[in-house]
Amino acid sequence: MFFTASKVFWFFATPSNLLIVLAVLGLVVSRLGGRRLGGGLTAAAVLALAVLGASPLPRLMMRGLEDRFPARTAEDLGRIDGIIVLGGSVHLARGQPKLNDAGARMTAAAALARRFPDVRIVFSGGTGQLLRFDDDEIEADASRLLMASLGLDGPRVIYEDRSRNTRENAVFSKEAVKPRPGERWLLVTSAFHMPRSVGIFRQIGFDVVPYPVDFHTKRRLSDWSPFATFSSGLRLADLAAKEWIGLVSYRLAGYTDALFPAPAQETARHD
């Protein structure tokens, strides 16, 4: 029920969708005689689209998420016992694996797999589609093809193919690996997605070591520059808004351990 409700809600709450709907609604209201109200509604929607599409506001929205868990390198990890890679970064296109904007999750996973050749790896991703068709792909299948093409497939790799959202990523990954006390499992996902992901894993009793990748902001002056195209700004605004809303909704549903999960004190183990 939560999965279906979240998909329907987000379709209408996505900033780019919502503002277009409001602009059209304003035109309809104007045609029905409410020129002042309709004109104001349309003007406000168009102005908001322009601000989100051209101004640095979407980067600032994203930066608040990405600053929560700092970037780290493989060299400072110490000992790890396994790696969990959250889905949302690869799909099949005409039978070939294709990375999307979050492809850094997979490239980081491949690099970590080579650096830690003896640890278990979980690729967690089923399908997040609300309406499914017979030819719909499972992301785990695309991950399997990609890893095989890189020579990184094998018995140590687990492909979790049932999850539809981040909470199910956590639940089914824990079920697949059955972590033991004292084990250190690395969690690889996009930096903006890390706070909610860590909160979910903690809530189900699976402490993980965050390894954020796929940063969209640089913490430099360039974060304040305008976007070259409206579509780029709106895309980032949609991503950031979805994650902020997700943090609130998951907390209200009891799926995370905090409204805005933060890093915990951890001691690297080198034994």
Task: Summarize pLDDT for 51-89 with one digit per residue, the tens.
Answer: 999 999 999 999 999 999 999 999 999 999 999 999 999
- Give the pLDDT band of residue 130 (cuts 50, 70, 90): low
Residue 110 lies in a domain: yes
Total domains in the fold of the chain:
2
- 60 and 75 in a single domain? The answer is no
Q: Are residues 42 and 26 in the same domain?
A: yes
Angstrom distance (rounded) from CA 245 to CA 60: 16
Q: Are strands 120-124 and 96-99 parallel, antiparallel or unpaired?
A: unpaired
- Whether residue 81 is contained in a domain is answered as yes
Residues 74 and 170 in one domain: yes
Q: Is residue 29 part of a domain?
A: yes
CA atoms within 13 A on the CB side of 52: 24
CA dist 264 and 100 (Å) reads 30
The CATH code of the domain that includes 84 is 3.40.50.620
Which structural domain range is residue 130 located in?
Answer: 70-215
24 and 148 co-located in one domain: no
Residues 141 and 56 in one domain: no
Evaluate whether residue 145 is within a structural domain: yes
Q: Are residues 138 and 186 in the same domain?
A: yes
Residue, of 15 and 268, whose pLDDT is higher: 15
149, part of any domain: yes
Tell me the CA distances in angstroms from 206 to 171, 200, 252, one per residue in order. Answer: 9, 9, 20
Question: What pLDDT shows up at residue 132?
Answer: 58
Among candidate residues 124, 203, 121, the one with its CA nearest the CA of residue 166: 124
Are residues 56 and 137 both part of a single domain?
Answer: no
* Last residue of one domain, picked from the residues 215, 236, 265: 215
Tell me if 77 is assigned to some domain: yes
Over 80: is that where the pLDDT of 33 sits? yes
Assess whether 88 and 186 both reside in one domain. yes
Residue 175 falls inside a structural domain: yes
263 lies in a domain?
no
Same domain flag for 115 and 176: yes
Within this chain, do residues 236 and 161 fall inside the same structural domain, yes or no?
A: no
List C-alpha distances in Å: 75 to 78, 119, 121, 147: 7, 16, 18, 23
Specify the amino acid at residue 123: F
Whether residue 142 is found in the same domain as residue 55 = no
Q: Which of 79, 170, 63 is nearest to 118 (CA)?
A: 79
Q: Do both 155 and 136 map to the same domain?
A: yes
The pLDDT, as a whole number, for residue 129 is 63
